[in-house]
Copies of this chain bind each other. A is one copy, B any other.
Amino acid sequence: MTQAQRIVLASRPKGAPVPDDFRLENFDMPEPGEGELLVRTIWQSLDPYMRGRMDDVKSYAAPVPIGGTMEAGGVGEVMVSNSDRFDAGDIVVGRTGWASHAALDAHQCLKVDPDLAPISTALGVLGMPGHTAWVGLNDILRGQPDETIVVSAATGAVGSLVGQLAKRKGMRVIGVAGGAGKCAFAVENLGYDACLDHHHPDLAGELAALTPHGVDCYYENVGGKTLEAVTGRMNDHGRIAICGMIAWYSGKGLQDAMSLPKMWRAILVKKLRVQGFIVFEHMDRLAPFLAEVGPLVKSGEIHYRESVAEGLENAPVAFLRLLEGGNFGKQLVRVAE
């Protein structure tokens, strides 16, 4: 029987994950059942949320079991179709996991149009991260023209689209990113009005200088010091959409986090709205998102950037680098040509 490859969770990380928390394995080629597809993974996604799945704590999804295949979205080619929804040769996006092949329920897969944009974008600007960006900006923050928005992880898969869409709405858009290279990219390629390096020793002071009219919307991807600086600049009736908190995912920086009473006071005195969301509960908004953003990607009006790791075996190291902010743009793994 033909062999496939996958990466499983070898052990639960204590704090920051390490390479030994993952293990590359061969396994028997999966057999698609009735209504299923055998998919050969071409592109696999790496996203910060996967860190949460490695811990055995209550979250919006069950944790990956020890020895279980790490979860991921992937884009691949249909090798065998036991569904009348797809044909062999179709390109689909679905939950392939960190694996070279997967048997997937056809109802859980979406067809990818290779003529619209490179198929890898179905994991990025036209996939879950893009959808997340669009829902957070439009439905959660409800950003308005002439308002000021701060976007953390400004050049990431989500942030880079938030910034560009906010700019198209006529908002003043300030990014926060890690390092001069990302900040320059945010301003020059993504159209941010300004972008601040979160390593700056006086983040609050720099942010104040860049937001003379305060901050109305904060698209929160990171937590940490950035959150504290932005909170101090929030205007009355400001909104914070919590999409992620990567600075705190592995238990780092918890000691010097801003205090809850200080945050509570800001919410009360400034009458803020703080809201968490998860894109899977907004699938009714997938079609309008694609209808708006798909053509903008095709025409080149929306930019995106990818960071590619070569080969499934390199997924763990690329994932650890992503958690440290070492990626630059949407992090992908090229599993096959």
| A interface residues, Cβ below 8 angstroms from B | 52, 58-60, 223, 227, 236, 242-245, 248, 254, 257-261, 263-265, 267-278, 281
Contacts and interface: CB of A to CB of B under 8 A. Distances in A.
Contact of A268 (B244, B257, B264, B267): B244
Most buried by B among A52, A236, A264, A265: A264
B60 A269 contact: yes
22 contacts: A58-B269, A59-B269, A60-B271, A223-B264, A243-B268, A244-B268, A245-B268, A248-B261, A248-B265, A257-B260, A257-B261, A258-B260, A259-B260, A260-B260, A267-B275, A268-B276, A270-B276, A271-B276, A271-B281, A272-B275, A273-B276, A274-B275
Given A227-B260, A243-B268, A245-B265, 5 more contacts: A60-B236, A260-B263, A268-B276, A271-B276, A272-B275
A60 B236 CA distance: 9
Nearest to A237: B281
Contacts of A281: 271
At the interface, is chain A mostly helix, strand, loop or mixed? Answer: mixed
Most buried by B among A227, A243, A261, A265: A261
Contacts of A271: 60, 275-278, 281
Contacts of A275: 267, 271-274
Q: How many copies does the complex hold?
A: 2
Nearest to A59: B269
Given A259-B260, A261-B248, A273-B274, A242 B267 contact: yes
Contacts of A260: 227, 257-260, 263
A254 B261 CA distance: 7
Contacts of A242: 264, 267-268
Contacts of A263: 260, 263
Contacts of A243: 268
A270 B273 CA distance: 15
A56 B57 CA distance: 43
Nearest to A247: B261
Q: Which 9 A-B pairs have the closest CB atoms?
A: A268-B276, A267-B276, A274-B274, A248-B261, A271-B276, A273-B275, A260-B260, A242-B268, A257-B260
